[in-house]
A and B are shown apart, each in its own frame.
Chain A
Amino acid sequence: MIAIINTGCANINSVRFAFERLGKNPEVITSPEQLKGFERAILPGVGHASVAMKRLKDAGWQQAIDEYQRPLMGICLGMQLLCDSTEEGNVDCLGKIPGVVKHLEVGTLTSPHMGWNDLSVLKEHALTKGLSAQDQVYFVHSFAHTVNDATLVSGEYGQAFSAIVAKDNYAGMQFHPERSAKVGTRLLQNFLDWQL
Chain B
Amino acid sequence: MIIPALDVLQNQIVRLYQGKYDTAQFYPFELGARLQDYENSGAGKLHLVDLEGARDPNKKQWQHIQAATKALNVPYQVGGGIRSEQDVADWLEAGANQVVIGSMAVEKREQVKAWIEKFGSEHFVIALDVNKTDNGWAPATHGWLSESEFGLFELVDFYVALGVVDFLCTDISKDGTMTGPSFALYEDLTNHNSEIKVQASGGVSSLDDIAKLKKLGVGGVILGKSLLDGAFNVEEALACYQNA
User: In the complex, A100 Cα to B237 Cα: how many Å?
Assistant: 41
Chain B hits for A13, CB < 8 A: 93-95
* Contact in complex: A181, B165 (CB < 8 Å): no
State which size class the interface on B falls in.
20 to 34
* Contact in complex: B73, A140 (CB < 8 Å): no
* Contact in complex: A179, B195 (CB < 8 Å): no
A128-151: which have CB < 8 Å to B? 138, 140
Name the one of B1, B44, B73, B166 contacting A178, with C-beta atoms under 8 angstroms. B73
* Contact in complex: A110, B122 (CB < 8 Å): no
With contacts A110-B165, A114-B165, A138-B44 taken as known, whether A181 is within 8 angstroms of B74 at the C-beta atoms is: yes
Name the one of B74, B93, B196 contacting A138, with C-beta atoms under 8 angstroms. B74
- The verdict on B151 contacting chain A, using a C-beta distance below 8 Å, is no
- The verdict on B97 contacting chain A, using a C-beta distance below 8 Å, is yes
User: In the complex, A20 Cα to B71 Cα: how many Å?
Assistant: 9
Total contacts A-B at CB 8 Å: 51
User: In the complex, A20 Cα to B73 Cα: how many Å?
Assistant: 11
Chain B hits for A11, CB < 8 A: 92-93, 95
- The verdict on A30 contacting chain B, using a C-beta distance below 8 Å, is no
Minimum Cβ distance to chain A for residue B211 (Å): 20
B165-218: which have CB < 8 Å to A? 165-166, 195-197
Chain B hits for A14, CB < 8 A: 95, 97
Chain B hits for A184, CB < 8 A: 73
Chain A hits for B197, CB < 8 A: 110
User: In the complex, A17 Cα to B197 Cα: how many Å?
Assistant: 29
User: In the complex, A47 Cα to B119 Cα: how many Å?
Assistant: 7
A positions within 8 Å CB-CB of B: 11, 13-14, 17-18, 20-21, 46-48, 110, 112, 114-116, 138, 140, 176, 178-182, 184-185
Q: A11-B92, A20-B70 are in contact. List 20 more A-B contacts (CB 8 A).
A: A11-B95, A13-B94, A14-B95, A14-B97, A17-B71, A110-B165, A112-B165, A114-B166, A115-B1, A116-B1, A116-B44, A138-B75, A140-B97, A140-B122, A176-B75, A178-B73, A179-B73, A181-B39, A181-B44, A181-B74
Smallest CB-CB A-B distances: 6 pairs: A14-B95, A179-B75, A13-B95, A116-B44, A110-B195, A17-B70
26 contacts between A and B (CB under 8 A): A11-B92, A11-B93, A11-B95, A13-B94, A17-B70, A21-B73, A47-B120, A48-B120, A110-B196, A112-B165, A114-B122, A114-B165, A114-B166, A115-B44, A116-B1, A138-B44, A138-B74, A140-B97, A176-B75, A179-B73, A180-B73, A181-B39, A181-B74, A182-B73, A184-B73, A185-B73
